[in-house]
Amino acid sequence: MGPLHPEGLITARSMVTRAPRPGMVTDMSTSLTDPVDIGPRRAPSRVMFGPHETNLTRDRGISARHVAYYLRRAAGGCGVIVTETASVHPSDWPYERAPLAADCGPGWAHVVAACRPHGALVLAGLGHAGMQGSSAFSQSALWAPSRVPDATSRELPLEMAAVEIDAVVEGFAAAAALAAGADTDGVEINAGQHSLLRQFHSGLTSQRGTTMVKTGCCSPSGCSARCARRSAAAGCSGCGCAATSSPRGPA
């Protein structure tokens, strides 16, 4: 730690003077309790309550206990609340009481109705755990980019083909549409830990050789979710745009 400072302890690193980078916020007069504009919405504070396992789910939907839980956080001053990550496809059942997005629409709407009077923005958490999920509850093979055993469980997953990839892409699209219909302020997609999306981007878990994964569409009008499919050719039959991800080889 650095020397004492009138406002408390500071680290040696914080004492180094650096020229501000372009776009860097240099006004330090704001605080966590100040509102912040996020796109067209305004959060009443800069405090974000992130998604996490709660074991409050009932029948894989957002329950009344979820609503009460998030309401207390909104009333306490959280500016942005991200609901517990919901699986976008039935193939993903990572823990016993994991939400399934297809069953979360009414629950999301109730969370929004409870939190909005306090000004909090509500984002629906969406994801797919892939090979880092669990087969204990679905009694089905885990889905993964490649047939590589999970480093922790050593369980060997199913290598996803085009039909499974299409199903997950369409699952994300359907879940996002359901969240929009529930009047949430947006969605947060888990591409970090315990995430099928991260597994596709890691050479440790994706050993698909030169297979490309189409992850987006450059067409101004967009194309169907099925445009995002596994293809050996760097193109998209829906709109003609090039594949956006790089080939993945063995680690």
The answer to whether residue 246 scores a pLDDT higher than 80 is no
Task: Answer whether residue 54 is part of any domain.
Answer: yes
State residue 94's pLDDT score: 96
pLDDT tens, 2-39? 443 344 333 333 334 456 667 555 666 678 999 999 99
- For 239, the domain range is 210-217+226-251
Q: How far is CA 160 from the centre of its chain?
A: 20
Residues 44 and 129 both lie in one domain: yes
Residues 118 and 192 both lie in one domain: yes
Query: Which CATH number fits the domain that encloses residue 178?
Result: 3.20.20.70
State residue 89's pLDDT score: 98
Residues 47 and 156 both lie in one domain: yes
State residue 211's pLDDT score: 52
Residues 80 and 160 both lie in one domain: yes
Task: Answer whether residue 113 is part of any domain.
Answer: yes
Q: How many domains does the chain have?
A: 2
Q: Name every residue whose Cβ is closer than 8 Å to that of residue 5 and which is 6 or more positions away in sequence.
A: none
Q: Tell me which of 173 and 210 has the higher pLDDT.
A: 173
State residue 20's pLDDT score: 64
Residues 183 and 250 both lie in one domain: no
State residue 29's pLDDT score: 67
Residues 182 and 238 both lie in one domain: no
Mean pLDDT for 81-96 is: 97
- CB 60, CB 99: distance < 8 Å: yes
Residues 61 and 150 both lie in one domain: yes
Q: Tell me which of 19 and 236 has the higher pLDDT.
A: 19
pLDDT tens, 223-232? 433 333 333 3
Question: Exposure of 155 by Cβ count < 10 A (0-12 exposed, 13-18 middle, 19+ buried)?
Answer: middle
Handedness of CA 164, 187, 116, 55 (dihedral sign): positive
The answer to whether residue 185 scores a pLDDT higher than 80 is yes
Q: Tell me which of 166 and 15 has the higher pLDDT.
A: 166
Task: Answer whether residue 240 is part of any domain.
Answer: yes
Handedness of CA 86, 37, 222, 228 (dihedral sign): negative
Residue 193's pLDDT band, with cuts at 50, 70 and 90, is confident
Residues 200 and 236 both lie in one domain: no
Residues 242 and 202 both lie in one domain: no
Handedness of CA 160, 165, 167, 173 (dihedral sign): positive
- The model's pTM is 0.74
CA dihedral in degrees (151, 210, 225, 143; nearest 10)?
-20
State residue 208's pLDDT score: 87
For residue 212, list its beta bridge partners: 231
Mean pLDDT for 155-166 is: 96
